[in-house]
Amino acid sequence: MTGALLFATVPPQNIMHTAWFASLSMFVAINTVLYLTLAIIKLLPKAYLSDWIDQRNRRSESRSIYPDAEAGPPQ
């Protein structure tokens, strides 16, 4: 809506110098970098803290349907 209003009232070559356009550029820039950060995070393998420091990461009893089975790590 604001964009349409601007086009109707401001010469096209001057739109890039308006405060509205500057705000839009900044808004898009922040969102872009924010989503890029999320993309890079998702691109990398997920790190699980428990893989390194949680020594309880082993079941204390078997979860098998067979009562005599040995306990193992979570699957």
Which residue ranges make up the site for another protein (CB under 8 A)? Answer: 3, 7, 12-13, 15-17, 19, 21-43, 45-46, 48, 61, 63-67, 69, 72, 75
CB of 57 to another protein, least distance (A): 12
- Give the separation between CA 66 and CA 26, rounded to whole angstroms: 61
CB of 33 to another protein, least distance (A): 4
Nearer to another protein, 25 or 58 (CB): 25
CB of 2 to another protein, least distance (A): 9
Angle of helix 19-43 relative to helix 2-9, nearest 10 degrees, comes to 140
Tell me if 60 sits within 8 A of 71, measured CB to CB. Answer: yes
- Give the separation between CA 13 and CA 9, rounded to whole angstroms: 12
